Amino acid sequence: MSKKLLILVFTFIHCAYGVAQFKVVNQALKEINHKNPNTRLAQGYMRRALEDSISNKYARTWYSAGLIEHRIYDLEKAKEIPDYNKMYDALYNAHNYFIKASELDILPNKKGFVSPEYVNDIKKRIRDKEMSLVEGGAYFWDIKLFDKAYKMFDTYVNIPYNDLFKNAAFRPDSSYYRVVFYKGLACSKLRNPRQTISIYESLKGSGYRESEIYQYITFEYRNMKDMANFERTLIEGANKFPGEEYFVNTLVDFYIRRDNYDDAVTFIDKAIAQNPSPSFYNIKGRLLENSKKHNEAAFCYIRAIDGDSLYIDAIGNAGRIYYNKAIDILDEAYNKSDEDYDHMMQYEVRPLYQQSLPFYERAYRLNPDERMYYRALRDIYYRLGMMKESDALTEDYQKRQDSPL
């Protein structure tokens, strides 16, 4: 057999095989368009064509696969009780098939011309169902299939940047940023901190839940044990959102755990200069108290209370400052002579109890079930000889403890 004849036979066989595979595509389309289609059979036909090395080079094959998956999505959605897994899986598959079809559809033909046949319809179909991708992501999120949720959200987020839509004017809005945000949350669930950080970083400057964005970035850095970037992001967040206590509280705690009290005080002073909130004064008071600077700490607690008269933590802290100082002097007085003891009790211990009293009374009124406030207040009443008040306090507290509520 001549060489030319061999080539001719091979070409004939090749074309005949290709035609056979396109018949499979037609069978798949015919099956899916039945009144009661066998969707698995249609997908099986289509899978053969997609896996074939000849037919999978044609846009028509992938376009047809997308049509079949869209049809499956529509059929499931129309049911009274849809199979949501099947429905959204079909939607996801359809999108990917259409994207592949569009890539093949815009390739130049043998003559070098580009004459797309399916692109316009593909663009319309993707646009018609793009919000359904978000719905699918939310569904998979709710059932804790975070890998599928991530894929759905990611597919939606990347639509405007696909070559199909690159010439279209696109301005992200809050709806778009919300999906990016949830894409980041899903990625975090998949334990991919670097990718998660990259997603959240893309939202900086968007105006969408930026304070939370910075917080989530710090979570990821802490999980990675990247403490340098953890600290850097906290400082960046604190500077950008001076009213957000998370950054200040977390960074101060970070410094304290490393015994960097000077850095903690320096930072809290800067935070107070930007936002003199009661919470920040209370934090500074705790730092100063830890450094045995009790008078300065008491001043900070009082400043916190001035800013928020119901700030029970600061109220209790102020009462404790004076109460503890009284206890320390009382312990010292026990080792003195009777005359010195009486003098210290009269002129040092008693005034401190009197200073502590109104703070603990207020703290107990705000939270009468807190045992610490009750015990301190009862002791102060006893030390000041206020037995009537002490008895009333004990009776009130006991009633609360005995109450079934």
Alpha carbon 135 to chain centroid, angstroms: 19
Given the structure tokens 């894929």, which residue do they identify? Answer: 151
Within 10 A of 17 (CB to CB), how many other CB atoms are there? 14
**pLDDT tens digits for 158-170?**
999 998 887 777 8
Indicate the domain borders of the chain.
Answer: 16-142
Contact (CB, 8 A) for 283 and 252 = yes
Nearby residues of 66 by Cβ (< 8 Å), 6 or more positions away: 94, 95, 97, 98, 101, 122, 125
What lies within 8 Å, CB to CB, of 306 at 6+ separation is 278
Q: Is pLDDT of 109 > 80?
A: no
Position 184 scores a pLDDT of 97
The phi-psi region of residue 255 (left if phi > 0; otherwise alpha if psi is between -120 and 50; otherwise beta) is alpha
**Rg of the chain (C-alpha set):** 36
pLDDT of residue 329: 85
What average pLDDT does range 259-278 have in this prediction? 90
pLDDT given at position 317: 95
Q: Is the pLDDT of residue 208 over 70?
A: yes
Q: How far is CA 357 from CA 31, 57, 379, in A?
A: 85, 85, 10
Question: Coil, strand, or helix at residue 93?
Answer: helix
19 or 151: whose pLDDT is higher?
Answer: 151
Q: What average pLDDT does the segment 134-149 reach? A: 98
Mean pLDDT of 86-93: 97
Please state, as a whole number, how many other Cβ atoms lie within 10 Å of the Cβ of residue 191.
10
DSSP labels, 137-156: HHHHHHTT-HHHHHHHHHHH
Query: Which of 65, 42, 80 is CA-nearest to residue 122?
Result: 65
Q: pLDDT, tens digit, for every residue of 271-312?
A: 999 889 999 999 999 999 988 899 999 999 999 999 999 999
> How much is the average pLDDT of 335-361?
85
pLDDT category at 341 given cuts 50, 70, 90 is confident
What mean pLDDT do residues 111-117 have? 79
Of 197-201, 207-211, 238-242, the least confident: 238-242
The SS3 call for residue 188 is helix
Predicted confidence at residue 173, as pLDDT, reads 94
Tell me what percent of the chain is helix, strand and coil, each rounded to the nearest 5: 80, 0, 20
What is the rounded distance in angstroms from the CA atom of residue 205 to the CA atom of residue 390?
A: 58
Share of the chain above pLDDT 90, in %: 67
pTM for this predicted structure: 0.80
Mean pLDDT for 323-331 is 88
Q: How sure is the predictor about 234, in pLDDT bands with cuts at 50, 70 and 90?
A: very high
Q: What per-residue confidence (pLDDT) applies to 203?
A: 96
Positive or negative, the CA dihedral 255, 256, 262, 264 is positive
Residue 105 to residue 114: CA distance in whole angstroms: 8
Please enumerate in sequence order all residues whose Cβ is within 8 A of that of 319, keeping only pairs 6 or more positions apart, or say none: 356, 357, 359, 360, 363, 373, 376
Of residues 59 and 331, the one with the higher pLDDT is 59
